[in-house]
């Protein structure tokens, strides 16, 4: 997409907008809108730009390029209208400039990776010349949906971990694993990569080192990703020699340079016992969530647009999920966990995991501002990271709420 005056978005000043107005007319990339623009008409223009090549809307500027300014619109209102009226939410940013003593909002809309972008009235628009018109050509709609599927394929390759080979040398006490991943779209796609030199990996290591019961861990920088492993895994042949394990047999998280993540948590138990302590799931997710917050930076929620997320449970061997919290090394907590298991078995029978599944079954969950409105949760840096790392599998097999306080 074109840059205004060949400047990066972050470096734009009011003088750049004045020059831009003097040099350009409305086009396939640029639209002028006055302060009186109705919300549904603004959404139509944003839909059209996102469905085409992206571009800019100058809000507070008339068709004749006169600067009338804005009193009815604000940055917050623009974001609210877009998130309430357009699905999926496009990648856009808003900047306020004061020109001739009047407020002008420049809305930057990226070419969408998840088209078509549909208004709440069911409209799908695109840009033809300097105008926005409904898409009525089935071929054009097919093209947009194909573009969407291409993006989904890229997400799948990016965040889904290949399954373990069942005929390989797997430790006997591994019953399965949970994979979770999310692909992040931000206003600044490579912001983590640009701040790698500022990441305090020593603080990450100290956090892991000081964690109760955590003896084995690693922090590694590989390419443009950071890898975290927790725990130690080994396997032996019958004669006792150690076996080099296949890739992926570990509790690990990869944090990519755009904030995307893929992680795996093993479900395991003691040799000879078909029980796995599922208390580890929430515990390890908590470690990963904390580390992600340390790596991602305090401005993450400000530049975040949306993420596509999935999680998958793979069962290699049938097992009983037991909530014992052994990792806390607290006999009282372990005893409460055993009581929870006994209570569940009395009410619902002996819990047995025989097969896995995927959430959602197909495609991905979209986590954006609208998601937080639906779950009635305030959007903050903390709530965002918590939602990205939340797993439906933390209470694996149990029906009643799990709490060690009762």
State residue 240's pLDDT score. 54
Can you tell me the distance from the alpha carbon of 101 to that of 109, in angstroms, rounded to the nearest whole number?
A: 25
Q: Are 295 and 221 in contact (CB under 8 A)?
A: no
Answer whether residue 142 is part of any domain. Answer: no
Question: By C-alpha distance, which of 342, 304, 266, 291 is closest to 188?
Answer: 304
What is this structure's pTM?
0.84
Q: Which residue has the tokens 């619902």?
A: 348
Are 291 and 204 in contact by the 8 Å Cβ rule? The answer is yes
A 10 A CB-CB count for 205 gives: 15
Same domain, 163 and 130: no
Quote the number of domains for the chain. 2
Tell me, yes or no, whether 406 lies in a domain: no
The residues pairing with 178 across neighbouring beta strands, listed in sequence order, are 265, 313
pLDDT tens per residue across span 231-264:
877 655 555 556 677 788 899 999 998 899 999 9
Q: 18 with 102, same domain?
A: yes
pLDDT for 212: 56
Q: Is 271 in the same domain as 302?
A: yes
Which has the closest alpha carbon to 24: 55, 70, 68, 53?
55
Q: What are phi and psi of 371, to 5 degrees?
A: -60, -45
Claim to verify: residue 283 and residue 171 sit in the same structural domain: yes
The verdict on residue 88 lying in a domain is: yes
Q: Tell me if 225 sits within 8 A of 254, measured CB to CB.
A: yes
Residue range(s) defining the domain that contains residue 44: 4-134
Task: Mark whether 259 and 359 lie in a shared domain.
Answer: yes
Say yes or no: 168 and 315 in one domain: yes
180 strand-pairing partners: 263, 311
Structure tokens, 194: 């640009």
- Report how far apart, in Å, the C-alpha atoms of 23 and of each of 5, 17, 18, 30, 130 are: 9, 10, 9, 12, 16
In a domain, 402, yes or no: no
pLDDT of residue 238: 54
CATH code of the domain containing 59: 3.30.950.30
Check whether residue 124 and residue 8 sit in a common domain: yes
Does some domain include residue 395?
no
Q: What is the per-residue pLDDT across 8-62, written as a single tens digit (0 to 9) for each?
A: 888 999 999 999 999 999 999 999 999 999 999 999 999 999 999 999 999 999 9
Would residue 51 count as lying in a domain? yes
Of 134, 163, 186, which residue sits at a domain end?
134
* pLDDT given for residue 28 in this prediction: 94
Same domain, 259 and 308: yes
Backbone conformation region of residue 255, classed left if phi is above 0, alpha if psi is from -120 to 50, else beta: beta
* Domain endpoint, select from 99, 134, 169: 134
73 and 220 assigned to the same domain: no
Do 344 and 312 lie in one domain? The reply is yes
Q: Are residues 249 and 366 located together in one domain of the fold?
A: yes
Strand pairing class (55-59; 30-33): parallel
pLDDT (tens digit, 9 = 90+) per residue, 392-405?
999 888 888 766 55
Instruction: Please check whether residue 145 lies inside any domain of the structure.
Output: no
- Specify the residue for token string 């040099």: 23
Task: Collapse the DSSP code of 49 into the 3-class scheme (helix H, G, I; strand E, B; otherwise coil) and give the result.
Answer: helix
What is the radius of gyration, based on Cα positions, of the chain?
26
Report d(CA 93, CA 78) in Å as an integer: 10
Q: Residue 274: CB partners within 8 Å, gap ≥ 6?
A: 175, 317, 318, 319, 320
Helix or strand (DSSP H, E) at 19: helix 14-23
Q: How far is CA 227 from CA 98, 235, 347, 365, in A?
A: 45, 22, 42, 24
Residues of the chain with pLDDT under 50: 406
- Which helix (H) or strand (E) segment is 85 a member of? helix 75-85
Q: Answer yes or no: do 267 and 375 share one domain.
A: yes
Exposure b/e, 354-391, CB count within 10 A at least 16 = b: eebeeeeeeebeebbbbbbeeeeeeeebeebbebbbeb
Please give the structure tokens belonging to residue 103: 């407020």
Residue 23 lies in a domain: yes
């Amino acid at each position: 997409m074109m840059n205004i005056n060949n400047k990066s978005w972050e470096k734009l000043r009011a003088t750049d907008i004045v020059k831009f107005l003097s040099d350009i007319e409305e086009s396939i990339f640029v639209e002028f809108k006055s302060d009186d623009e109705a919300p549904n008409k603004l959404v139509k223009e944003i839909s059209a730009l996102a469905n085409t090549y992206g571009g800019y809307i100058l809000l507070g500027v008339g068709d004749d390029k006169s600067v009338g300014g804005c009193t009815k619109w604000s940055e917050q209102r623009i974001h609210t209208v877009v998130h309430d009226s357009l699905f999926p939410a496009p990648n856009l940013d808003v900047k306020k400039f004061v020109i001739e003593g009047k407020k002008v909002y420049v809305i930057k809309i990226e070419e969408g990776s998840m088209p078509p972008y549909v208004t709440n009235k069911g409209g799908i628009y695109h840009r033809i010349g300097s105008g926005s018109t409904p898409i009525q050509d089935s071929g054009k709609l097919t093209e947009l949906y194909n573009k969407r599927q291409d993006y989904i394929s890229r997400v799948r390759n990016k965040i889904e971990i290949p399954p373990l080979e069942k005929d390989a040398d797997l430790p006997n006490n591994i019953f399965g694993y949970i994979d979770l991943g999310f692909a992040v779209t931000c206003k600044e796609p490579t912001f983590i990569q640009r701040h790698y030199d500022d990441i305090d990996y020593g603080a990450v290591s100290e956090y892991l080192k000081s964690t109760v019961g955590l003896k084995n861990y690693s922090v590694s920088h590989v390419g443009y990703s950071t890898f975290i492993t927790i725990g130690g895994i080994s396997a032996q042949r019958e004669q006792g020699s150690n076996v080099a394990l296949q890739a992926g047999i570990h509790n690990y998280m990869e944090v990519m340079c755009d904030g995307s993540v893929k992680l795996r948590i093993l479900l395991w138990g003691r040799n000879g016992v078909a029980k796995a302590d599922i208390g580890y799931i929430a515990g390890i997710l908590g470690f990963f969530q904390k580390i992600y917050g340390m790596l991602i930076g305090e401005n993450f929620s400000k530049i975040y647009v949306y993420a596509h997320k999935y999680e998958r449970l793979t069962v290699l061997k049938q097992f009983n999920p037991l909530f014992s919290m052994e990792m806390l090394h607290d006999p009282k907590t372990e005893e409460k966990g055993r009581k929870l298991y006994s209570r569940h078995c009395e009410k619902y029978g002996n819990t047995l995991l025989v097969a896995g599944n995927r959430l959602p079954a197909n495609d991905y969950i979209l986590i954006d501002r609208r998601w937080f409105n639906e779950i009635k949760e305030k959007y903050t840096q903390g709530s965002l990271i918590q939602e990205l790392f939340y797993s439906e599998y933390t209470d694996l097999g149990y029906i009643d709420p799990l709490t060690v306080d009762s």
